[in-house]
Structure 1
Amino acid sequence: MKNEFEQPEYGDDYVKSLYTKSENDQKVQKRRKFVKRRENFSLFTYFFFILIRIVMVFLPQYGYIHPDEFFQTTEVITGEVFELEATRTWEFNSTMPIRSYAIPFVCFKIPMIFLKFVLMSIKTISGVDLLSTYTLLVFPRLIMLLISFINDYSVYKICRAYNLRYDIRLVTLASSAVILTFGIRTFSNTIEMALCSFLLHLISDCMVLSNTVIYQKEFLEEKYESASNIGERVKYFKMRMSLPHHSYSKCAILSSICVIGIFNRPTFICFALPLIFFWMLRGMGISRTVTFTDFNLRILFFILSGLPAFCTIVFIDSLYYGYLSLAQVYILDITIYSFLVTPVNFIRYNINSSNTAAHGEHPRWLHLLINIPLLYNILGIITIASFGNMLYKFCKKEFQNLPQSQSFMFVMTAAIFAPVFMLSLFNHQEPRFLIPITIPIILLHSPKLITGVNLTNFMRESKWNFLRYLSNFINITISGRFILKVWYTMNILSTLFFGFIHQAGVIQMNEYMSTYSQQSLRQHSQIHLVTSHIYKVPESMFVLPNANTIYTDSNGMKYKNARRFFLYEYDSMEVADMFKRMKIILDAAEMKFKVKNVPYEVLLAIPLSRAFELNQLFYKHSHLMSYKEIQVFYPHLSTEAFPNIYATHHPCEINTDVDELDQTCSLASHNDILNDEISVTSVLRQVSSVVHQFGLTLYKVEIRKKKKKPQN
């Protein structure tokens, strides 16, 4: 089948043609060396991006993509292992938990227990405490880095199974912003992507094995039937019986991966369903030896093979959430209500559209038209165009120009678009939900980064006459070099945005506050931190001891430390409303200080794009309170508070106290402000104003003390 979006891979036919020429031809030898150098360069590029992936873990990335990065995985685990203050989200409540504990337990808790032992040993020997925000941020990402290499391994094995070029596909994978950002974050979606990749690798091996065995089996059966004597028949019969079994190949591990994936995220069903269907369909329709009975038996064995993994995870979850206890197991006091299946709760919750709409309601076409191009830029656009071309040919009933039902191209296309359409049925859609389709997209379309895309053939087959007419005069070809440049450029920009700019001040503030709060707590002060227009702050990153931890003194008396850190998060609340609530917090802390003499500090974290609005409110209430900037974290961009490009005040002109009227910004020129003419200085000032707004500022708010009148 000739497909304008599926051209032959660059260099394969060319290299074969080289070997048909004379071995003594020096020109041919030079070309061979060039091809060899190009392949080596591709692998060198791949290892260069691998190094970048490793460096970006230890650097680390301060970009904060989504709260689920912490609150669905590491936040609860970190708080439990290191006995720190941590936020336990509603997904992990005991009444109706929708998150399985077994997968985070294996992926994060066991390694963190080992890390805790190492850190305690180092502290005992050297007296140095290495438990910090950096450690709690980097160590889980180091685990995810190791898991991310499952994707690379799967791509390599699939390419070897189908005799495809793996170098360009590995380079494409390693240079993708999905791998460089999402791939090393502690999302449950990232684990889902690794499981999908490994599942695709195993199913590809099974399909190749089945096709090979079925072909050899039918060939030997034909030889057996046409044999002229008993000796040949015995020979072919033995050869046929020596063929490996393939019908239930890797059934147990495939089933176990599906069970683990569903407990990790029940949306794994959408990604695994088309792949498992092709695994069960192997050989049907192309071989008389594989019948519908084999299909049914494969389903039965697949279900039975997943029971051990299912029972193990259910047992762990039931113990953790208190539905079952070891004492009940010992006395066999077990009922059906003693077991918890978290995916059932997940589905019950998400099947209600009002629940999903509470997290954000999106149009059904968002995944297909926005999220795929957002994640995979030009390669995503090519993927959608290729699928649209296949649908166009299907509607024209050109079935001979479509891939066969069990071919590599058809399987990969189904692995991409079947889950996309199933996930589009839900009204809450985020780009990270689609990252498991990364491997099929790269396997199918990454060669176009080299070969380019020819649109002329599409124009010739179009139903519009003017396009067919134009195709006789023009040749529209998007070169591979151009596509490759766009791919690298967009991935660099996406990596910088999600890895180092988006909500990046939050984790920096965690790191600063972990030191600041420990110094204040030594003085027995209470800290009240108010946040606005930023993502939910992972409280465990403050590295504060859990107030519920029970200690024992030298006399054997048990006690708890009083809670001295309080976090108030107001998300995207209007600044005026947030200001009122902060005033209540400040008054309550001041009253407690006067009554019980408990020192306190009230801090406010807010994007600099809202600083001027906040300053106006403080100015109106300057007789009641004052505030002072103690730290600014750059860069930081909150989509809830975009910088104001038309701001009339520069951020560094904003006074943090009415008594402080000095100008600290060299670009602030009031003459330029008053002058209607546009000058170079005013333009630079406006640009500087926007740049300065890409920050998260931390203020200290205090009750304004009344000045004592001087005595006569």
Structure 2
Amino acid sequence: MQLKKYIKIIQRNDKSIRTYFVLAIVRVLLVFIPQFGYIHPDEFFQSMEVMAGDEYGLEHTRTWEFNTTFPIRSIVVPYFCVKIPLNFLKFITLYVRYYFQIDLRTSYALLVFPRLIMVLFSFVNDWSLFRICKSHGVNYEIRMVAMASSFVILVFGSRTFSNTIEMGLCSVLLYIVADTMVHSNTVIFQADFLQTKYDAAETTVEKVKLYKMKSSLPNHSFNNCWLIATICVVGVFNRPTFLFFGMPIVFFWLLRGMGTKTVSFMDFNLRICALVVSAIPSLIFFIIMDSLYFGYLSLSDIHVMDVGIDNFVVTPLNFIRYNIDPQNTAQHGVHPKYLHILVNIPLLYNILGVVSIFSFGSMIYRFCCADYKNLPRAQSIIALMTAAIFVPLGFLSLINHQEPRFLLPLTIPIIFLHATKLQNGIRGYQSMNCNRIVDFICSKLFFKNIAGATVLRHWYIINIILTFFFGFLHQGGVFQMANQISNSVLVHDNVTHVHLVTSHIYNVPLSFFFIPSTKTILTNHETGQKYRRNKRFFLYEYGGMDVDELYRKMKIILDYNEMKLATANQKYQLYLTIPTSLTEDLSLAFWRSNSTVMKHERVKVFYPHLSTEALPKFSIKHPTEIKTDVFDLDEKCSLYEKESSDDSMVSIAIKQFSSIVHQFGLALYRIDVRRKGHSIK
């Protein structure tokens, strides 16, 4: 009988289960394709760039956050999440190269392998959501499908952001606290029931029996205390904003059972003390590891016991000291206080994000109307999830630098509370009978009833679009360009120096070029002499510089290298990478220079690529057909050619569409000096 019931449940939920597992497989496959999209420089420069440089001895960019004089990023989490996996990749590379003659030390492996670790870690969020749903007896199928189909998980979930790790830690913390709340509520209910019976008992035998039953109940007050404290320490050292996300969750762990007969305010204080004591071991471990890495502490200092307060560094404290100054955060961009709630939440969670904002507004309105009976209970899972969304959102909105990825830990609370809307639909505004004028205005402004199929369809469409945009299109040519330079240019030994100029794109991680570090001290085994490699690759990143100014910069670099070629026979190659939407601007800059010496020729174009710093020009006809050397322009160039009278509207539309599509690329140019009988190869 039970078996038949189980089979019916499986059959009923079979479609949702299949959908979830298909999406989970897609999540892993998207790592191997791979996703060329480049969301933000922190994706590489706060973890992979530094760890790859340390592990493989490569040229890399060590950002100011890892400055030894004032480090604000802990090295422990990147060490375990990125460096150790890279060390494992380095180990298996030896065997793969020996047995299969395949070298895994490539730009592709360096991009994909850390992301594979992160995508495996992202399933912690799925597991946590599933366990929360099971422990509280709510429908998990549609919630799991919503989680797996969200572009937040498909794209951000595989990236080496500290925010991605923060999301996973918050998810685990939510599950532990939610599960502990269920356990405590059960034990407290039984304890209160037995206490009531004990007080009403008239005979000693009955009192003894009830006392023994109450004493046999399991402990619950300090359940998972050490685990919660450790997660909080790891979260804070990974990213100190974890304080905002963890604080309301931990508060609900402290609040369990308050107001009942068996739990008092003393239990609340004892739980706080237990958390503090439990956090000490992991706190000491992180401080010592950071102090060793950044050179504040050495093993010799520990051996001779010459250790003082100056031998330790607390990176979260430095992080807070830096970000508490608005002038420092303003250097990274100043945003309005409402950006998170009005832009970033709808961007990340689209329909569910908008519903969560309206739902919270409705709760505030009910509270102001003293409609307490329709508000969630203070110690319920609904209250926990609501606090886990809007308490950190309120704190983060006070900071003047706001980015969507800062809100990734809100994923599970939003999906848990509102994912059922994808199945049941969205109900229009419901009158609260508090104020007729407000009810009338809200009924006109807020959305009407929307069917679940419609909501789910829009959810899928929006997430597919955003997955393509952030996963493949946004800055998608950067890695492809770096891979091309690494495989086609830097492998030639006859080239002494390679110079790469970039414009209107994000910073390029140097580790992708796989250039041996020039800072590593090497030893000549024959003479025993110490030496360093000479630098042969130079990167010039000019951001959103005006194209005419960019031309002047390249002219200076070219003149200097020509001088070195004439005096020291130092060979060189100069390259420029720039979005194809600036093809015409670049050609016109060469034309305006009135120089007949410097020329440029397109080497390759990498698709797809979109730089928001250089958006495509939809009104220009066929800019990609312009020849890259403006001095070779003739009357056949389609930009200056008049449309013939017999051109059909279809032909014109196709050409216009082609010109727009070709602007979604990243062009690599070879810059050289025009010499007689010389051509660029």
Q: Which TM-score tier does this pair reach, normalised by the shorter chain?
A: over 0.9
- The residue type equivalent to 1:83 in the other structure is G
Match of 2:414 in 1: 441
TM-aligned CA distance change 1:241 to 1:267, over 3 Å? same
Q: Deviations over 1:471-493 (max 9, x none)?
A: 9xx99411111110110010000
Q: Does 1:533 align with 2:504?
A: yes
Match of 2:650 in 1: 680
**Do the aligned residues in 2 keep the contact of 1:453 with 1:479 (CA within 8 Å)?**
yes
**C-alpha distance in 1 between matches for 2:6 and 2:51:** 54
**C-alpha distance in 1 between matches for 2:102 and 2:518:** 23
Match of 1:45 in 2: 19
Match of 2:175 in 1: 201
**C-alpha distance in 2 between matches for 1:465 and 1:166:** 35
Question: Which one of 437, 440, 454 corresponds to residue 467 of structure 1?
Answer: 440
SS of the residue 1:537 aligns to: coil
**C-alpha distance in 2 between matches for 1:408 and 1:217:** 21
**Do the aligned residues in 2 keep the contact of 1:63 with 1:501 (CA within 8 Å)?**
yes
TM-aligned CA distance change 1:190 to 1:35, over 3 Å? same
- The residue type equivalent to 1:538 in the other structure is P
Match of 1:184 in 2: 158
Q: Does 1:500 align with 2:468?
A: no
**C-alpha distance in 1 between matches for 2:635 and 2:279:** 70
**Do the aligned residues in 1 keep the contact of 2:602 with 2:628 (CA within 8 Å)?**
no
- The residue type equivalent to 2:263 in the other structure is V
1:451-490 aligned within 5 A: 451-458=424-431, 463-464=436-437, 467=440, 476-490=448-462
1:681-700 aligned within 5 A: 681-700=651-670
1:576-587 aligned within 5 A: 576-587=548-559
Give structure 2 stretches of 5+ with no counterpart: none
> TM-score of the superposition, structure 2-length normalised?
0.95
**Do the aligned residues in 2 keep the contact of 1:65 with 1:503 (CA within 8 Å)?**
yes
Question: Which one of 547, 561, 569 corresponds to residue 597 of structure 1?
Answer: 569
TM-aligned CA distance change 1:465 to 1:379, over 3 Å? closer
Q: Deviations over 1:42-77 (max 9, x none)?
A: 010000000100100111100000000000011000
1:382-397 aligned within 5 A: 382-397=355-370
1:355-434 aligned within 5 A: 355-434=328-407
Match of 1:24 in 2: none
Q: Deviations over 1:277-313 (max 9, x none)?
A: 111111112x022111111111111111101000000
Match of 1:5 in 2: none
Q: Does 1:217 align with 2:187?
A: no
Question: Which one of 478, 482, 486 corresponds to residue 514 of structure 1?
Answer: 486
**C-alpha distance in 2 between matches for 1:388 and 1:41:** 34
TM-aligned CA distance change 1:476 to 1:625, over 3 Å? closer
The percent identity for this pair of structures is 49
1:559-574 aligned within 5 A: 559-574=531-546
Match of 1:523 in 2: 494
Shift of residue 670 of structure 1? 2.8
Which stretch of the first structure deviates more once superposed, 121-130 or 683-692?
A: 121-130
1:28-177 aligned within 5 A: 37-177=11-151
TM-aligned CA distance change 1:706 to 1:374, over 3 Å? same
TM-aligned CA distance change 1:475 to 1:219, over 3 Å? same
**Do the aligned residues in 1 keep the contact of 2:583 with 2:623 (CA within 8 Å)?**
no
Shift of residue 125 of structure 1? 4.5
Q: Deviations over 1:72-116 (max 9, x none)?
A: 011000011011111110100111111001111111112211211
Shift of residue 232 of structure 1? 3.0
- The residue type equivalent to 1:565 in the other structure is F
SS of the residue 2:490 aligns to: helix
Question: Which one of 584, 599, 603 corresponds to residue 612 of structure 1?
Answer: 584
**Do the aligned residues in 2 keep the contact of 1:318 with 1:339 (CA within 8 Å)?**
yes
**C-alpha distance in 2 between matches for 1:512 and 1:63:** 16
**C-alpha distance in 2 between matches for 1:670 and 1:524:** 40
SS of the residue 1:702 aligns to: strand
- The residue type equivalent to 1:408 in the other structure is I
Q: Over aligned residues, Cα RMSD in angstroms?
A: 2.5
Shift of residue 231 of structure 1? 3.4
Q: Does 1:659 align with 2:629?
A: no
SS of the residue 1:457 aligns to: coil
**C-alpha distance in 2 between matches for 1:563 and 1:456:** 66
**Do the aligned residues in 2 keep the contact of 1:378 with 1:487 (CA within 8 Å)?**
yes
TM-aligned CA distance change 1:558 to 1:358, over 3 Å? same
Match of 1:232 in 2: 206
Which stretch of the first structure deviates more once superposed, 251-260 or 112-121?
A: 112-121
Shift of residue 657 of structure 1? 5.0
TM-aligned CA distance change 1:238 to 1:459, over 3 Å? closer
**C-alpha distance in 1 between matches for 2:621 and 2:482:** 31
**C-alpha distance in 2 between matches for 1:573 and 1:72:** 25
**C-alpha distance in 1 between matches for 2:9 and 2:450:** 23
Q: Deviations over 1:556-606 (max 9, x none)?
A: 333332111110001111111121111111111111111111110000000
**Do the aligned residues in 2 keep the contact of 1:460 with 1:468 (CA within 8 Å)?**
no
SS of the residue 2:599 aligns to: strand
**Do the aligned residues in 2 keep the contact of 1:214 with 1:283 (CA within 8 Å)?**
yes
- The residue type equivalent to 2:102 in the other structure is V
**C-alpha distance in 2 between matches for 1:461 and 1:378:** 27
- The residue type equivalent to 1:682 in the other structure is I
Which stretch of the first structure deviates more once superposed, 339-348 or 123-132?
A: 123-132
**Do the aligned residues in 2 keep the contact of 1:608 with 1:693 (CA within 8 Å)?**
yes
SS of the residue 2:670 aligns to: strand
Q: Deviations over 1:464-517 (max 9, x none)?
A: 28839989xx99411111110110010000000000100000011111111023
**C-alpha distance in 1 between matches for 2:651 and 2:483:** 36
Q: Does 1:671 align with 2:642?
A: yes
SS of the residue 1:464 aligns to: helix
Q: Does 1:281 align with 2:249?
A: no
Match of 1:642 in 2: 615
Matched residue pairs, number?
674
TM-aligned CA distance change 1:485 to 1:54, over 3 Å? same
**Do the aligned residues in 1 keep the contact of 2:635 with 2:641 (CA within 8 Å)?**
no
**C-alpha distance in 1 between matches for 2:322 and 2:257:** 39
SS of the residue 1:601 aligns to: strand
**C-alpha distance in 1 between matches for 2:338 and 2:223:** 38
> TM-score of the superposition, structure 1-length normalised?
0.91
Which stretch of the first structure deviates more once superposed, 398-407 or 449-458?
A: 449-458
- The residue type equivalent to 2:34 in the other structure is P
Give structure 1 stretches of 5+ with no counterpart: 1-18, 20-28
**C-alpha distance in 1 between matches for 2:519 and 2:286:** 29
**Do the aligned residues in 1 keep the contact of 2:13 with 2:141 (CA within 8 Å)?**
yes
Q: Deviations over 1:169-188 (max 9, x none)?
A: 11110000000000110000
Question: Which one of 543, 547, 559 corresponds to residue 518 of structure 2?
Answer: 547
**Do the aligned residues in 2 keep the contact of 1:462 with 1:468 (CA within 8 Å)?**
no
Q: Does 1:272 align with 2:242?
A: no
**C-alpha distance in 2 between matches for 1:51 and 1:594:** 57
- The residue type equivalent to 1:656 in the other structure is D
Shift of residue 339 of structure 1? 0.5
**Do the aligned residues in 2 keep the contact of 1:460 with 1:467 (CA within 8 Å)?**
no
TM-aligned CA distance change 1:381 to 1:468, over 3 Å? closer
